[in-house]
Structure 1
Amino acid sequence: MTTSPKTESELLHRAKSIAGLTLGELAAELNIIVPPNLKRDKGWVGQLLEIALGAKAGSKPEQDFAHLGIELKTIPINANGYPLETTFVSLAPLIQNSGVDWENSHVKHKLSRVLWIPVQGERHIPLAERFIGAPILWQPSPEQEQRLRRDWEELMDYIVLGKLNQINAKLGEVLQLRPKGANSRSRAKGVNAQGEIIDTQPLGFYLRKEFTAQILQNFFL
Structure 2
Amino acid sequence: MRDKKNTYETQEELMIYAKGLEGKTFGEIDKTNRIVNEKAKGKLGQIIEESYFGYEINSKPEADFKNLNIELKVTPYKKNKNGSLSAKERLVLNIINYMEEIHKDFYTSSFWMKNNKLLIVFYNYEKDKTVGQYEITNTILYEIPEEDLPTVIQDWETIIGKVRNGKAHELSEGDTFYLGACTKGKDSSSLRQQPFSDISAMQRAYSFKQSYMTHILRSNLNNEFSEKLIKDGNFSIRGYVEKLLKPFINKSYEELCEVYGQASCAKNSVQLLISKIFNIKGTDLSKIQEFEKANLKLKTITVDKNNKIKESMSFPTFKFKEIIETSWEESDLKRILGEQKYLFIVFKENKTSDLIFKGFRFWNIPYEDLNEVERVYRKTVEVIKAGVEIKEKLTKNGIRHNNNLPSKSESYVCHVRPHGRDARDTYELPDGRRLTKQCFWLNNTYILEQVKDLFYK
Under a length normalisation based on structure 1, what TM-score does the superposition of the two structures give?
Answer: 0.87
Matches within 5 A, 1:132-211: 132-181=136-185, 183-191=187-195, 195-211=196-212
Query: Aligned partners of 1:199 and 1:154: how far apart in 2?
Result: 19
Q: C-alpha deviations, 1:139-176, integer Å up to 9, x for none?
A: 11111221211101011101110023432221111112
Letter in 2 for 1:93: N
Q: Which runs of 5 or more structure 1 residues have no equivalent in the other structure?
A: none
2:13 is matched with which residue: 10, 28, 38? 10
Three-state SS of the structure 1 residue aligned to 2:135 is coil
Tell which deviates more after alignment, 99-108 or 180-189: 180-189
CA gap of 1:31–1:102, structure 2 versus 1, over 3 A, is closer
Query: Aligned partners of 1:182 and 1:170: how far apart in 2?
Result: 18
Q: What is the Cα deviation at residue 198 of structure 1?
A: 4.3
- CA RMSD in angstroms comes to 2.1
Percent same amino acid at aligned positions? 23
Q: Contact 2:183/2:205 (CA < 8 Å) preserved in 1? A: yes
Three-state SS of the structure 2 residue aligned to 1:75 is strand
Tell which deviates more after alignment, 195-204 or 143-152: 195-204
* Alignment coverage as a number of residue pairs: 214
Tell which deviates more after alignment, 153-162 or 11-20: 11-20
The residue number in structure 2 matching 1:95 is 99
Q: Does 1:60 align with 2:30?
A: no
The residue number in structure 2 matching 1:23 is 26
Q: What is the Cα deviation at residue 200 of structure 1?
A: 2.9
CA gap of 1:183–1:131, structure 2 versus 1, over 3 A, is farther
The residue number in structure 1 matching 2:124 is 120
Query: Aligned partners of 1:25 and 1:98: how far apart in 2?
Result: 43
Query: Aligned partners of 2:165 and 2:74: how far apart in 1?
Result: 33
Query: Aligned partners of 2:57 and 2:216: how far apart in 1?
Result: 24
Larger Rg: 2
The residue number in structure 1 matching 2:220 is 219
Three-state SS of the structure 2 residue aligned to 1:124 is coil
CA gap of 1:145–1:33, structure 2 versus 1, over 3 A, is same
Q: Contact 2:167/2:197 (CA < 8 Å) preserved in 1? A: no
Three-state SS of the structure 1 residue aligned to 2:73 is strand
Q: Which runs of 5 or more structure 2 residues have no equivalent in the other structure?
A: 224-457
Query: Aligned partners of 2:216 and 2:29: how far apart in 1?
Result: 25
CA gap of 1:57–1:9, structure 2 versus 1, over 3 A, is farther
Give the helix-richer structure, 1 or 2: 2
CA gap of 1:33–1:165, structure 2 versus 1, over 3 A, is closer
The residue number in structure 2 matching 1:77 is 77
Three-state SS of the structure 1 residue aligned to 2:35 is coil
Q: Contact 1:11/1:53 (CA < 8 Å) preserved in 2? A: no
Query: Aligned partners of 1:211 and 1:60: how far apart in 2?
Result: 26
Q: Contact 1:62/1:110 (CA < 8 Å) preserved in 2? A: yes
Letter in 1 for 2:20: S
Q: Contact 1:116/1:137 (CA < 8 Å) preserved in 2? A: yes
Q: Contact 2:27/2:35 (CA < 8 Å) preserved in 1? A: yes
Q: Contact 1:178/1:205 (CA < 8 Å) preserved in 2? A: yes
Q: Contact 2:70/2:116 (CA < 8 Å) preserved in 1? A: yes
Q: What is the Cα deviation at residue 36 of structure 1?
A: 4.1
Query: Aligned partners of 2:67 and 2:25: how far apart in 1?
Result: 28
Three-state SS of the structure 2 residue aligned to 1:116 is strand
Query: Aligned partners of 1:167 and 1:182: how far apart in 2?
Result: 14
Q: Contact 2:46/2:57 (CA < 8 Å) preserved in 1? A: no
CA gap of 1:26–1:182, structure 2 versus 1, over 3 A, is farther
Q: Contact 2:76/2:124 (CA < 8 Å) preserved in 1? A: yes
Larger relative contact order (Cα-Cα within 8 Å, sequence gap ≥ 6) = 1
Q: C-alpha deviations, 1:50-81, integer Å up to 9, x for none?
A: 12123557211110101111111111111243
Three-state SS of the structure 2 residue aligned to 1:82 is strand
Letter in 1 for 2:36: P
The residue number in structure 2 matching 1:106 is 110
Three-state SS of the structure 2 residue aligned to 1:123 is coil
Three-state SS of the structure 2 residue aligned to 1:115 is strand
